[in-house]
Amino acid sequence: MFLNKFMTGFIAMDTHIDNGMGICLSMEESRLKPSIKRFYKIKEKYTYKPFKVLRILVMRDTHQGTLKLSQAKYIDAVLLQFNMSSCNPMVMPVDKGSHL
């Protein structure tokens, strides 16, 4: 993980094999993106609509200030693969709606 803090904000970047993700304000992005593009092909995602990263669906609502992560489709596919799609669901140990 790469994290760099500026007076105007920060840049956070994470990579996994051939996937990576970066979060920053547009001011920092304008400084960093040209340097990265010299060495790597960048595929940009617009965060105003849902997108996937490493099989995780990322949903952002700027009006409510929320960020939601979901792996429901991936979990359903794994359950189907192992013939467990009709198994009984269990309650998660964390209360729904908890703010972590």
Based on the fold, state whether residues 37 and 23 are members of the same structural domain.
yes
Range of the domain at 6: 1-42
Based on the fold, state whether residues 65 and 38 are members of the same structural domain.
no
Task: Characterize 14-53 residue by residue with b for buried, 16 or more Cβ atoms within 10 angstroms of its Cβ, and e for exposed.
Answer: eeeeeebebebeeebbeeeeeeeeeeeeeeeeeeeeeeee
State the DSSP H helix or E strand holding residue 19, giving kind and residue range, or none if neither: strand 19-24
* 65 belongs to a structural domain: yes
The average confidence (pLDDT) of the chain is 78
pTM attached to this predicted model = 0.53
pLDDT confidence bin for 25, thresholds 50/70/90: low
Strands in 51-53's sheet, in edge-to-edge order, are: 51-53, 56-61, 66-70
The backbone region for 55, taken as left when phi is positive above 0, alpha when psi lies in -120 to 50, beta otherwise, is left
Q: How many domains does the chain have?
A: 2
* 100 belongs to a structural domain: no
Mean pLDDT, range 13-42, rounded to an integer: 71
Mean pLDDT, range 5-23, rounded to an integer: 69
The answer to whether residues 90 and 75 touch, using CB atoms and an 8 Å cutoff, is: no
